[in-house]
Structure 1
Amino acid sequence: MSGQAGAPTAAMRALRWGLVAAGLVSVACGAWLLVDLSTATLIRIVVWTGVGVVIHDFVFAPVTAALGYTGRRWLGRRWWPPVAVAAMCSITLVLLAVPVVDTPGAKPDNPTVLDRDYPLGLVLALAAVWVCVPVYVAVSALVRRRQRVSR
């Protein structure tokens, strides 16, 4: 190996510059799309962005930190990782389901728009996620037991 330890290779530098270029192109495309919008729409975009940052920083982040700290102490080493993963999956599923849960875009003249029972789908997806928690704990305990026996 030539060069200093940890120094990026030429391929890595090329990849980084390619990602920077792709990011700049994405920003330019987004800015171009904003050009045609009205001032009122731009103000709404800025307000929504600001509110999202404030809600994240002053609500979600502290609640997540508190739940993480408390959960880690209550659940112990075996249950904590799968419960944390399931909680993050659950939050993601709920946030993705918010726009369609009460089917605001459903149209009586077009039954193919929002044609599913989204609340039931959300419940089933959450159930599938949380069923995996004890399954993971049981399988990992079985694997650990087999590893101890094989030694």
Structure 2
Amino acid sequence: MIALRMLLIAGGIWLAWHGISLLLHDDPADLKSIAFWFVGGILVHDALFAPLCAAAGVGARRLLPRSWWAPVACGAVCTVVLAVLAVPVIGRRNAVPDNPSVLDRNYAAGLVVALAVVWILVALVLLQPLLRLDRLKRFAALRRKP
């Protein structure tokens, strides 16, 4: 266990050193941009996103039955990740008319389909106990009939 921990620590230190050494070769304008996005990302997360997630979690815990908490939380996390990943391509800002292979799909429709799949799966997980109970009732009724 200690050897594994030491290996993980050494790997982390090596990856940090490698990342810093790559940054040292960038010009100052790129370093300023990296620092801006790094600090901005932390501030947006801590000042906006984390409190909103905490408030949504508290509200959902008050409104939803206990057995729904985990599937709905999983669906919410998937929704946020898919939405954040889709932000750069939804507006098709960088689409190039001369090159149809750049942003060549309807990404908004793809996002809607992906979110529909996520929430259908959440609904199936939530309905699973009801479907299992119904199956058990039918089985019990069949066993009672002579």
TM over 0.5: yes
2:41 is aligned, of 44, 52, 77, to: 52
Whole-angstrom distance in 1 between the partners of 2:121 and 2:88: 26
Whole-angstrom distance in 1 between the partners of 2:59 and 2:15: 40
Deviations 1:3-41 (A, max 9, x none): xxxxxxxxx222222222221221122112111212122
Match of 1:133? 122
Deviations 1:50-91 (A, max 9, x none): 111111111111111111001011011132221111011100
2:63 is aligned, of 51, 68, 74, to: 74
Match of 2:98? 109
2:28 is aligned, of 29, 39, 45, to: 39
Unaligned segments of structure 1, at least 5 residues = 1-11
Match of 1:65? 54
Count of aligned positions = 137
| Residue 76 of structure 2 corresponds to residue 87 of structure 1 | yes
Whole-angstrom distance in 2 between the partners of 1:22 and 1:110: 42
For the residue of structure 1 that corresponds to 2:94, the secondary structure is: coil
Unaligned segments of structure 2, at least 5 residues = 141-146
Deviations 1:112-138 (A, max 9, x none): 222221111011000111111221111
Match of 1:3? none
Whole-angstrom distance in 1 between the partners of 2:19 and 2:94: 26
Q: Output the TM-score relative to the length of structure 2.
A: 0.84
Change (3 A) 1:17 1:143: farther
Whole-angstrom distance in 2 between the partners of 1:29 and 1:108: 39
For the residue of structure 2 that corresponds to 1:100, the secondary structure is: helix
Whole-angstrom distance in 1 between the partners of 2:133 and 2:8: 41
For the residue of structure 1 that corresponds to 2:65, the secondary structure is: helix
